[in-house]
Amino acid sequence: MSHLDDILKSRRDTRHFTTDEVPDEVIQKALQAGHWAPSVGLTDATRYYIIKSNEVKCAIKNLFLDYNKKAEELTDNPEQKELYRSLKLEAIEEAPIGLIIAYDRSVLNQFTIGTIGSNEAVKFSSVCAAQNIWLSLTEQGYGMGWVSILNYYQFKKILDLPENIEPLGYFCIGKPATNYGNQPMLQQLHWKQKSETADCKEITEIHKINISNFDSTSSNKVENKTDFNSLLQEKIDSKTKPVGSLGTLETLAFQMATVFETLNPKIIKPNIVIFAADHGIANHGVSDYPQDVTRQMVNNFMEGGAAINVFCKQNNIELSIVDSGVNYDFPTNANLINAKIAKGTQSYLHLPAMSETELNLCFEKGKSIVENIVKEGSNCIGFGEMGIGNTSTASVLMSLLTGFSIDECVGKGTGINDEKLLNKQNILKKALKNYSGQAELKQQIAYFGGFEIIQMASGMLTAFENKMLILVDGFICTVAYLIAFKINPDIKKNAVFCHCSAEKAHQKLLNYLDAKPILNLDLRLGEGTGCSVAFPVLKSAEAFLNEMASFESAGVSRK
């Protein structure tokens, strides 16, 4: 077989192999074909790992079985579920050779041609290599099957792959036992029919993008309501207790009533919103976790398995999940709000994290999300976040906007060790040194910002405009609040700082903002968990103000 069309048409995602061995020269020829594939910026970032050990294959097979069970549960259609169970989707133990095709994201530590639009171009290059290998094996009379139903974090851990190595998946290689009736296996088994021709349309016109510029000033000022405040304070002081004896609960009750503009405040339809996005800086080893954990955790939120899900359910709080810019395409019917700006920001080590257009779009999206929640009748909103690498982004923004040194603003984030902390500090110092832009808020947050952080800042400003109680979670959310505060300092009247996190810089930032947190539980999870855990305290403040007897109604003498 030598004709290219025949090779292309006969290439199969093989799941059934004979017991024939695969000669070394076949593998070497295929790997050479992979090496000839295009490589963005000539990075040569593709890496290969050969697997022959039965023990290793068995461990990988177990990972597959675990995730395959989860995949099976994603459909509620009994017939589809039964058909899925019947499919053979791997040959990890049967295939003579296992091949891991991966890419080295550390190449992004240096300026790389072709990655300014998307750092995924490095991954795409490795996919091209995988296809070349597939075609080479097909031409030699062998086959390959791609196994991607894996927990990639565990996959990397059990194989002890370096942190900077990101696998595309596990590939089974051997002599095909069948050609599936000269068609894709899934088509042969009636799972899905492959279209006959490519879907291609010609684009003949340009559509203008209308994105309004955000205003870094706010005209909405809180009126001085001396009479109302006096009545409110009298109501609090007249409860059957010594003045001030309920401490922070009295402060919260006063704040709540002021925000809602009523002496009988009630929290209605509380909603915690998790904004999730990826960060280009994560490609430089600033976190203990790979970037894909962002996507995994968003799935966990949607499946109800995270801490925030448990706490929201416990306290009857609505939970909303926002894709602000995760490096993944979620299904269109996923239970989340699609506010994706791009698949992660650029690495601000070399260039701006986002363009001015993307910055304006972040403000537009954040505003729209909160406005929709307001329309549903909510008057209390909590802000949470998820994004591998976002503590680095928050640290840089804190340093720029407060004047603190970067060393004072950098912490261990997801729990990195001292060596990685030093590396993180050095990378962020280099990023700040490389910045030559203006010392203006708009330019700074565009260069160093995160999509989820800017959307949260916009959402907080919108919540203030709509007279909502604003619950601020930990370090990253407080940095989002810092941005909002720089735009409109009056937002502080609506903000409740739910806790002081274990992240080193959070207490310093709270002090800078003259903010007193409700709790100090050494939390450092994010997700809005601090908001959900502090929520019962707010309900206690509401309850005492509305339900506790006064000296007069109880017939108790005042001091």
Q: Could you give the dihedral angle defined by the CA atoms of residues 498, 276, 522 and 461, in that order, rounded to the nearest 10 degrees? A: -20
DSSP 342-359: SSS---TTTS-SS-HHHH
Q: What is the pLDDT of residues 69-107, one digit of tens each?
A: 888 887 888 889 899 999 999 999 999 999 999 999 888
Nearest to 103 by CA among 162, 143, 32: 162
- 533 in Cβ contact with 499 (< 8 Å): yes
* Alpha carbon 212 to its chain's center: 25
Nearest to 327 by CA among 105, 55, 556, 86: 105
DSSP code, position 181: T
How far is the C-alpha of 363 from the C-alpha of 358, rounded, in Å? 9
**Mean pLDDT score, 507-517:** 96
For residue 209, what are its two tokens? 């993008």
Q: What SS3 class is residue 46?
A: strand
How far is the C-alpha of 255 from the C-alpha of 232, rounded, in Å? 10
Nearest to 170 by CA among 123, 130, 119: 130
How far is the C-alpha of 274 from the C-alpha of 205, rounded, in Å? 37
* Lowest mean pLDDT across 284-293, 322-331, 437-446, 522-531: 284-293
For residue 181, what are its two tokens? 């009736």
Nearest to 461 by CA among 441, 443, 482, 488: 488
| Beta strands per DSSP E along 175-279 | 271-277
DSSP H/E element including 320: strand 318-325
How far is the C-alpha of 283 from the C-alpha of 154, rounded, in Å? 19
- 543 in Cβ contact with 272 (< 8 Å): no
* Residue whose structure tokens are 């000296």: 551
Residue 15 has pLDDT above 90, yes or no: yes
* Alpha carbon 197 to its chain's center: 36
How far is the C-alpha of 125 from the C-alpha of 121, rounded, in Å? 6
Sheet holding 380-386, edge to edge: 337-338, 318-325, 271-277, 380-386, 469-472, 495-497
Would you place residue 215 in the very low, low, confident or very high pLDDT band (cuts 50, 70, 90)?
Answer: low
Would you place residue 211 in the very low, low, confident or very high pLDDT band (cuts 50, 70, 90)?
Answer: low
How far is the C-alpha of 57 from the C-alpha of 547, rounded, in Å? 64
- 143 in Cβ contact with 163 (< 8 Å): no
Query: 300 vs 114, 263, 296, 478, 527, CA distance in Å?
Result: 33, 40, 6, 24, 11
By percentage, how much of the chain surpasses pLDDT 90? 67
Residue 541 has pLDDT above 80, yes or no: yes
For β-strands 469-472 and 380-386, DSSP reports them as: parallel
Residues carrying an active site annotation: 527
Structural domain spans, the chain: 4-187, 267-537
Q: Exposed, middle or buried: residue 424 (CB in 10 Å: 0-12, 13-18, 19+)?
A: buried
Nearest to 468 by CA among 460, 476, 479: 460
Sign of the CA dihedral with 297 first, then 302, 303, and 306 last: positive
How far is the C-alpha of 411 from the C-alpha of 347, rounded, in Å? 19
Does domain 4-187 fall under CATH 3.90.170.10? My reply is no
Residue 367 has pLDDT above 70, yes or no: yes
239 beta partners = 550
Would you place residue 559 in the very low, low, confident or very high pLDDT band (cuts 50, 70, 90)?
Answer: low
Residue 221 has pLDDT above 80, yes or no: no
The set of residues, in sequence order, having a beta carbon less than 8 Å from that of 332 and lying 6+ positions away, is none
Q: What is the pLDDT of residues 126-184, one digit of tens each?
A: 999 999 999 999 999 999 999 999 988 789 889 999 878 989 999 999 999 998 988 99
* Lowest mean pLDDT across 198-202, 260-264, 330-334: 330-334
Check residue 483 and give its pLDDT.
97
Query: 67 vs 95, 133, 148, 544, CA distance in Å?
Result: 20, 26, 10, 48
- 16 in Cβ contact with 177 (< 8 Å): yes
How far is the C-alpha of 401 from the C-alpha of 483, rounded, in Å? 8
Residue 385 phi, psi (nearest 5): -150, 160
Nearest to 350 by CA among 274, 430, 425: 430
Neighbours of 464 (CB within 10 A): 24
496 beta partners = 471
Q: What is the pLDDT of residues 453-511, one digit of tens each?
A: 999 999 999 999 999 999 999 999 999 999 999 999 999 999 999 999 988 899 999 99
Q: Which CATH number fits domain 267-537: 3.40.47.10, 2.60.40.10, 3.40.50.10210, 2.40.30.40?
A: 3.40.50.10210
Phi and psi based region of residue 190 (left: phi greater than 0; alpha: psi -120 to 50; beta: remaining): left
Residue 449 phi, psi (nearest 5): -80, 170
